[in-house]
Every structure is written in C-alpha cells, then in structure tokens.
Amino acid sequence: MTFEIKTAELSGGKLAYHVGGAGTPVLYLHAAGGVMLTEPLKALTRNHTVYAPICPGFDGTEGNEGLKTVRDWVAMVAEFAQKLVGERFDVIGSSFGSWTALWLAAENPKMVDHLILGVPAGFRFGGKGGLPADPEARFKALYAYPQKITSTPKTPEVMANNGKTYERLANNVQVDEALSARLPSIEAVTLILLGTEDKVVPAEAGAHLKRHIPTSQRAFIFDAAHSIEVDQPERTLRLWTAFLKRGPGYVLNQGQEAA
Amino acid sequence: MKFNFFHLMPYPDYDKLPHEWPVSTHGIDSRRIQALYNEYVDEMADAENYGFDWVGCNEHHYSPYGLMANPNLIAGALARQTKKANIAIVGNLLPLLNPIRVAEEYAMIDVMSGGRLVAGFLRGIPHEYIAYNIPPSESRSRLREATELIIKAWTEDEPFGWEGEHYQFPAVSIWPKPIQKPHPRILMSASNEESAEFVAKMRAIMGITLIQDLGAARKAIEHFKNVARGYGWEPTPDDILVGQQICIADTDEEAREHMAAAQTYFHQTLMRPQRSAQQLVLQQSRYYTGSDVGENFQKRLATLRNRTVDEQIEAGSIICGSPESVVKQITRLNQELGCGLLNLTIKVGNMPGSVVRRGMELFRDRVAPHVAGL
C-alpha cells in the first residue's frame, strides 16, 4: 500500500499530510527528522488507514509562524484529527512525535484510544541523552543499522529546515514539566517503546512515563538505537500490531489460538 | 498426620496499594530482602525441631506476594540446614519451565538432602504465564507432557530422546538420578475435576487449597479417590494434602487479631495486583477448558476475601486460635476430609516474625503432641 500526500485547510493554515491504507485509523506523529515512510509504517497500512501530518516547516513544507511551541503544533494536530481522522483513533509517535502525542492525549483524553510512544522525547532528566551536534555522531546515535534505511534520503536543505523548526518548537526544553504533571490524567492505554542501544532518549524517560501514566506498559526493542523503526522493523511492527489489536492484553501469549 | 511448614516468603513492607501486575520495584531495598531471606530460611530450617515433618515453599513471579521465583534455590539451602524434614517444593510451575532443568534440579535436591524431596508439579495460577510468555491455553498439555518427561528423565538409566508436542530433546541423561526409587513422591493440585484425572493417573499426592467449605472440599477429594480407583489404586490419608493459613497464639482472641491484620495485608496488598492480570488470562485464553471452572476459581478467591476470620474458621478455610482450639480444628479437618497431610502457612501476609515464632513454639509444645497421631 502506498502513501499519497494531501493538504488540509485548517483554521491556523495549511497542513500537508501523508495518508495511505485502509482500515481503522491510526495517526502517526513524526520525529524531529520529519516523516520517514519506514517499513513498519508501510506495513501498518495493510490493516489501518494511516495519517501522518507534516508539521509546517518540516520536509520542505512552508513554515507557519503561528506555531511557536509543541502545544501549538498539538492544537493543529487535534483540529486536523477532528476533521479528517475521526472522533476516536489510535496514535503512534516517534521521538518528538511521542512528545506531541502525549500532549494530544493529555489535552484530548476522549480522542486517543491506543497510544504508542516510540522513543519519547521531552524527558531528558539531568540533561542526559539528546542528539549530538556532530553530523557523523548524530547519524550513529540515530541508527545502529543505517543500511536498513529504505526511505528516500532528504536533502541537506530539508534536513536543516527540519532541525530549525524542531528547535523552535522544542525551545530547548530538557524536561517538559508541564506535560509531566499531566501524565496521571492520560486515559489512553499506552505502550512505551525504547531501543536498547538508544543514547538519545535516556532510560529514565521511559521509566518516568511508565510510573506516571496510569495504564501503561513499556517494552525494550533489542539491538535498536533511536530509530527503532529502521533498526528493527519486524520487532517494532510486531509490538505495534499486537498492542493496537489487543491493548494491555498483548502481553498474553495466545500460542496457536492466535494463528 | 504430617505437617508441612510452608512459607510463601512474602514481602511484608509494601506501603502502597499496588494497582497492576507486574508490580514495580521502585523504592524497594534489596538489602531488606536479604534480611528477609535470612529470617525466612531460618524459620524454615528450624521448623523440623518444632514438630513439622516437611518444610517447603513454592514459586511465584513479579510481585511482593512471594520472593521465591525459584524455590529450588531455597531448597538447596534447606538441604544442608535440615536433617530430617522432607523438603517439599509445592512446587515448580512445570509449564513455564524447561522440564529437563526441573528434573535435574529436583534430582540434585533429592541427592543433597539424602532422599527427602517431595516434588511438586504445579500448573500455577493464571497470570504467571505472562511472566514467562507461555500460552496459558497450553498449560494443561504442557503440564502433562513435562510430568511424564521428568519421570522418564529420573528413571531411565540409558540415554534417550524425547519427541513430544511441546518438548523435543534429542538426547537426555540427567546426572545424578534421585536417591528415592523409583522416584521422589510427586505432589499435584487437584482442586477441580479437570486436574483430578491426571493426578490420579500419576498416583501423585493430591493437593487442595482455597477451601471455601468442607463439603465442597470433601466432594473434590471423593472425586479424586473415585478416579484413582479407576486407575487401580486406593488413595490413603498420606495421599491427601490440604493447604491452610494458620495462626496459633496463646488465646483465641490474640490469634484472631493477628490473623485479621495479616489477612488484610495479604488480600489488600499482596493479592490485589494479581486480580486484573488473572482476569485477563481467564478472559482471553483457554486456561480453563470449562468457563464454569474459571468462574469457580474467581468466586472462591472472592468468597474467602470477604469472610471474617470467624467465618473462615467455621467454614474450614483457615486454622486459627489457641492451641486447644487449633487441635480441635485440625482434628475436624482430619475427620471430615480424611487428609493425612496439612500444608500450613504460618507467615500470613505481614504477620510479625515474633508471632510466627510463638506459633511454632505452641505448635511444638501444645498442638503436635495431640494431632501427630491422628
């Protein structure tokens, strides 16, 4: 199943988005590197209609001066979702996208059903983690297996603008204390995914989220750096699909019954 | 009668109400648990000098309910620290484990202890299957196959291979073999009709716990006996083990107070996180092949949780009181159920160690002399 790019007209401006597949809707929120159409994301379209909005300023889209913070972006996503995705749907976030997804779930508790937080940004306790400034070190931090990248490479200009837009929205926040205070109010059943080789998101972030989100589970994906979808696509997809299908019950091995 | 000093090895200091299973270990001090292991193993090692014929523990995972993920490690310590008591592991959860490893570890314990192992082969409680990622729907078939494989591993002198439904081992020859011949006594749960069939077939000791009334327990035991007769043998009292929580104090009032406080912790804290996980397994798998049995299991737990100490004593669910009262209650169990083995949990929930020790003294001096000959 392939994705196509469309544009939505929202109260705060235009919003480009990828959409593909058929089935129950999943909203995918991208990382600071923009949308990567990874193998798990493409596979997800077999059973779901996947919507992946592109934050204005990312991936060559026109910037939006009205977006100054993560919460501004979240408000735009919420409006997009209400208009195009539905009243209630599942959400998958990746890094910065998980930060976005958490705010979305906190501010719209009835909107988010299953919430999957891939390598969630926004909780760098003690300043740990983060992306190195040096491009080579940054690339190594993102990928344990760069040879597994299958999506189209982005130009240096696009990457630079992605970085600038992200920095403006993140505003150098190490720990989003306001969001942290809202975690206990999140109603969505939540799965937190972390890579065992991830040096960008500190392990404490996952533990903090697990401790404070009421109905949450946490899983480590073995032998994956920050880009879990690229480094371990099968493992990532297996967890995504199991959790989206069965929620917290995904921990139960159903053996031959599942076949 | 014979008495097993059974220890759940609970964590007694959990100061929150855990809302989920597995339970977080955030803030738990492992040095405190080191002290608990010492306290508990000392109690168990001393039990043989306090009128107990067996001493043992069992297996649980991921919660303060019990600190013995592998009871064989505790049994290894007991093998050296005890001289005469049988070491009853009640038991290893066979469907979760590598059966060859169980055969080897049990054989080692039997040899180290000079032939004192009672080998519990249990299916476990439903949520434990999540801990080791085993399909609960396969629990019964795994138990059956693992049991037969372990017995084969204990009793076959020449190397052999095993080609089964769940287990395939091309070459098996465990060292050492158990001292007890043909093999150690096996103990299995037969709380319902589904399990009684296999326990009878294996000529194992039948274990029954969570008694909500003596009539139902008697019925389960009679069913087991009838099935055993069909397999050509007649169970004796030594083949029937009944599990009970027990509190013995100097007076009835004191015992009731201690039991009530300890059970509050047991039900509200230790048992609490398991309920939702158990519900998940019961709803989403074929752990029980008959839905009525699953409901029965849940109902029994709820019934016991909601009863007062006096109601539990009256129903035959627990043993609690002064030594004189306890003698009467044990005699009643023996007479009404025909059981020759009692599995007694003295450390209930957060029961203080001093109360446990006083109970052991009273058992030795004023209970055992009156009930050992039953």
CA of B303, closest CA in chain A: separation in Å? 26
The mean pLDDT value for A247-251 works out to 93
Residue type present at position B4: N
Q: Which residues of A touch B284 (CB under 8 A)?
A: 246, 249, 252, 254
Residue of B nearest to A256 (CA): B135
The mean pLDDT value for A97-116 works out to 97
Determine, for residues B285 and A251 on separate chains, whether the beta-carbon distance falls below 8 Å.
no
pLDDT for residue B368 is more than 90: yes
pLDDT for residue B291 is more than 60: no
Q: What is the per-residue pLDDT for B295?
A: 61
Q: What is the per-residue pLDDT for A205?
A: 96
Report yes or no: B135 at the A interface, CB cutoff 8 Å.
yes
Determine, for residues A252 and B26 on separate chains, whether the beta-carbon distance falls below 8 Å.
no
Q: What is the per-residue pLDDT for B290?
A: 64
CA of A251, closest CA in chain B: separation in Å? 6
Determine, for residues B137 and A256 on separate chains, whether the beta-carbon distance falls below 8 Å.
yes
Report yes or no: A23 at the B interface, CB cutoff 8 Å.
no
Length of chain A: 259
Q: Which residues of B touch A251 (CB under 8 A)?
A: 130, 280
Residue of A nearest to B19 (CA): A214
* Pairing mode, strands B160-163 and B117-122: unpaired
Domains of chain B as residue ranges with CATH: 2-371 (3.20.20.30)
Q: Is the ipTM of this complex over 0.90?
A: no
Average pLDDT, chain B: 94
Residues 18-37 of B with CB under 8 A from A: 19, 24, 26
Residues A159-187 pLDDT 10s: 999 999 999 999 999 999 999 999 999 99
Residues 187-246 of A with CB under 8 A from B: 210-211, 214, 246
pLDDT for residue B243 is more than 60: yes
Residues B71-104 pLDDT 10s: 999 999 999 999 999 999 999 999 999 999 999 9
Residues B341-364 pLDDT 10s: 999 999 999 999 999 999 999 999
Residue A70 is encoded by which pair of tokens?
């993560």
Q: What is the per-residue pLDDT for B288?
A: 75
Determine, for residues B135 and A211 on separate chains, whether the beta-carbon distance falls below 8 Å.
no
The mean pLDDT value for B280-305 works out to 73
Which of A210, A252, A257 is the best residue to mutate to test the B interface, defined by the most B CB atoms within 10 Å of its own CB? A252
Q: What is the per-residue pLDDT for B91?
A: 94
Determine, for residues B129 and A246 on separate chains, whether the beta-carbon distance falls below 8 Å.
no
Q: What is the per-residue pLDDT for A256?
A: 73
Q: Given the structure tokens 């839905």, which residue do they identify?
A: B291
Half-sphere exposure of A162 (CA within 13 A, CB side): 18
Among the partner residues A211, A246, A249, nearest to B26 by beta-carbon distance:
A211
Percentage of residues in chain B with pLDDT exceeding 90? 86
Determine, for residues A252 and B130 on separate chains, whether the beta-carbon distance falls below 8 Å.
yes
Determine, for residues A252 and B285 on separate chains, whether the beta-carbon distance falls below 8 Å.
yes
Among the partner residues B24, B26, B137, nearest to A255 by beta-carbon distance:
B137
Split at pLDDT 50, 70, 90, the class of B299 is confident
> Cβ–Cβ contacts within 10 Å for residue A5, how many?
14
Residues B133-168 pLDDT 10s: 999 999 999 999 999 999 999 999 999 999 999 999
Residue B66 is encoded by which pair of tokens?
């019990």
Q: Given the structure tokens 């008959």, which residue do they identify?
A: B290
Residues B55-70 pLDDT 10s: 999 999 999 999 999 9
Q: Given the structure tokens 């029994």, which residue do they identify?
A: B300
Report yes or no: A46 at the B interface, CB cutoff 8 Å.
no
CA of B62, closest CA in chain A: separation in Å? 14
Determine, for residues B280 and A248 on separate chains, whether the beta-carbon distance falls below 8 Å.
yes
For chains A and B, CB pairs below 8 A equal: 37
CA of B144, closest CA in chain A: separation in Å? 17
Determine, for residues A254 and B134 on separate chains, whether the beta-carbon distance falls below 8 Å.
no
pTM beyond 0.95:
no
Q: Which residues of A touch B137 (CB under 8 A)?
A: 254-257
Residues B127-136 pLDDT 10s: 999 999 999 9
Residue type present at position B163: E
Q: Are A220 and A196 in contact (CB under 8 A)?
A: yes
CA of B189, closest CA in chain A: separation in Å? 23
Q: What is the per-residue pLDDT for B285?
A: 81
pLDDT for residue B275 is more than 90: no
Q: What is the per-residue pLDDT for A257?
A: 63
Q: What is the per-residue pLDDT for B280?
A: 82
Residues A145-164 pLDDT 10s: 999 999 989 999 999 999 99
CA of B134, closest CA in chain A: separation in Å? 6
Determine, for residues A251 and B284 on separate chains, whether the beta-carbon distance falls below 8 Å.
no
Q: Are B248 and B323 in contact (CB under 8 A)?
A: yes
Among the partner residues B19, B24, B133, nearest to A253 by beta-carbon distance:
B133
Q: What single DSSP character describes residue A34?
A: B
Q: What is the per-residue pLDDT for A1?
A: 64
Residue of B nearest to A247 (CA): B280
Q: Which residues of B touch A246 (CB under 8 A)?
A: 284
Q: Given the structure tokens 């291979």, which residue do they identify?
A: B161
Residues B335, B245: Cα–Cα separation, whole Å: 19
Respond yes or no on whether the N-terminal peptide bond of residue B66 is cis (omega within 30° of 0): no
Report yes or no: B281 at the A interface, CB cutoff 8 Å.
yes
Q: What is the per-residue pLDDT for B30?
A: 97
Residues A3-40 pLDDT 10s: 999 999 999 999 999 999 999 999 999 999 999 999 99
The mean pLDDT value for B298-315 works out to 88
Report yes or no: B130 at the A interface, CB cutoff 8 Å.
yes
Q: What single DSSP character describes residue A22?
A: -
Residues A192-210 pLDDT 10s: 999 999 999 998 999 999 9
Domains of chain A as residue ranges with CATH: 4-258 (3.40.50.1820)
Respond yes or no on whether the N-terminal peptide bond of residue B176 is cis (omega within 30° of 0): yes
pLDDT for residue A258 is more than 80: no
* Pairing mode, strands B240-248 and B318-321: parallel
Residue type present at position B66: G
